[in-house]
Amino acid sequence: MYSGRTILKGLLALVTAALTLLGVASPTQAQDSGPVIFGSLDYEDTELEEDVPVVGVVITVSGADGFEATSATDDAGEFSVEVPGDGAYIVELDASTLPEGVSLRNADNNPLETEVNDGRDRRVLFPLTLGEGGGDDEGGSFSGRRVAQLTAEGLKQGLYLAMAAIGLSLIFGTTGLVNFAHAELVTWGMLTTYFFNFYGLAGVIGFLAPLPPPFGGGVNLVPAAVLGMACGGLLGWLINRTMFRPARRAGVSLIAQMVMTIGLSILLRYFMLYIFRGGPRSFGDFAAQRAKSIGPIELTTKDMVAMGLSIVILVGVGLYLQLTRMGKAMRAVSDNRELAESTGIDVERVISQVWIWGAALAALSGVFFGLDQVKWDFGFRILLLVFAAVVLGGLGSAYGALLGSIIVGLVINLSTLFIDAEVKNMVALIILAVALMVRPQGLLGRAERIG
């Protein structure tokens, strides 16, 4: 019998090690001058199968108080414009300076509105394409390379989703409660990590400011992520302890408890909006990585490390559920609560652990998702995907949640071969509906018995 703690310690060490590696691989940006708005322009040459930087394109950035600055892309296709400080800016690409045959993939996105927060550099994207753009011809380009890239993206999304979904499924399994606030826990992890990344605890408790990080100032994303995960676990514990454990004791019906999770979700979401404001942000580290090519696939280093880490963590969760006493107890309670109780398992303790680890995993998934973008309502945007994954895999089954997440991630991303990326999340609804009609107990769930 392995102790759960050993596995967890090992996992934590691995997370830290890998994230440190990530830190070495891409140093944080220097912030000696004012913040810059930057980006790079390139297009994919399908014949050469490589990215061609676009040189000499004029970019104009304008902001409040009549600020306006211009830059042109250099030999690497990169541009950067220094701006006076925080605020909203409009970035416009002069389409007439684009080379012959190259156009914006989505002309609607030019000019772009963006926001600079906390004096941090801001990356903007102008996806380019060979031939006439417009974004609507995505369904047409069915190259092997595109399939490979979308598969990689889908796998990435699936892996991150799985970390969020496992907790949801296990909470349902052990308590019968569908936690509609689970996606908020993903946002919570994302935002607390952002917070530690920039301010440390001093952001909330002002007098801590003179202390060293993480109390008085921001820390590198790696320890910030660990702190964010801890905050996730803490919140999970707190929610169970203050809301649902007393509710279970008082015999509050599951339906009423579900309404409570709805209330919790809106409470958390608007609390986070209140604190963090509306605009999209990014973490202070690893924000400006360029994608690297591995065969036909392009991924940034941070994505590769995060994907590797999530695989390690998911395997770790599997081992935990399979080998440790607590993990086995979690599965037993999920299987049959009464039976588990009668064999002497402390069900309430198991539920508490499920909440803690489910929320911590969701928080970490938020950190990984946050490598692309940090936003106050991110969780709600993926709620549909998480539910589709959990229902497809079988409500209550941890392995089902994993399998369902990978499938949902892959199907959604590959669906953009045929449909607009804008509505790809709606595919999740279709998956959900089909799963319910064909196999309502889910791929790995068991049919229920009546009476």
For residue 32, the minimal CB distance to other proteins (Å) is 30
Minimum CB separation of residue 253 from other proteins in Å reads 5
Longest dimension (CA), the chain: 75
202 binds other proteins (CB under 8 A): no
Based on the shown chain and the rule CB under 8 A, indicate whether residue 30 belongs to the binding site for other proteins. Answer: no
Q: Examine residue 214 and say whether the peptide bond preceding it is cis (omega within 30 degrees of 0).
A: yes
- Considering only 339, 346, 349, 373, the residue that binds other proteins (CB under 8 A) is 339
Query: Reduced to 3 states, what is the DSSP secondary structure of residue 261?
Result: helix
Per-residue x/- track, 308-337, other proteins (CB under 8 A): ----------------------------x-
Residues 347-386 that bind other proteins (CB under 8 A): 380, 383-384
The letter for the amino acid at 167 is G
CB proximity list for 233: less than 8 A, separation 6 or greater: 356, 357, 359, 360, 363
Residue 204 is a binding residue for other proteins (CB under 8 A): no
Backbone angle region of 280, left / alpha / beta, with phi > 0 → left and psi within -120 to 50 → alpha: beta
Smallest distance from other proteins to CB 15, Å: 31
| Residue 422 touches other proteins, criterion: CB under 8 A | yes
116 backbone dihedrals φ, ψ, rounded to 5°: -105, 125
243 contributes a contact to other proteins by CB under 8 A: yes
By CB under 8 A, name the one of 188, 194, 368, 387 that touches other proteins. Answer: 387
Could you say which residues in the range 246-285 bind other proteins, by CB under 8 A?
A: 247, 252-260, 262-271, 273-274
Handedness of CA 320, 323, 326, 330 (dihedral sign): positive
Lay out the site mask for other proteins across 126-165 (x = CB under 8 A, - = otherwise).
---------xx-----------------------------
CA-nearest of 19, 28, 34, 25 to 285 is 28
Number of helices (H), then strands (E), in the chain: 13, 13
* CB-nearer residue toward other proteins: 128 or 260: 260
State the SS3 of 271-302: HHHHHHCCCCECCCCCCCCCCEEECCEEECHH
| Residues near other proteins, by CB under 8 A | 108, 135-136, 178, 180, 243, 247, 252-260, 262-271, 273-274, 336, 338-339, 380, 383-384, 387-388, 391, 395, 420, 422-423, 425-426, 428-429, 432-433, 436-437, 440, 446-451
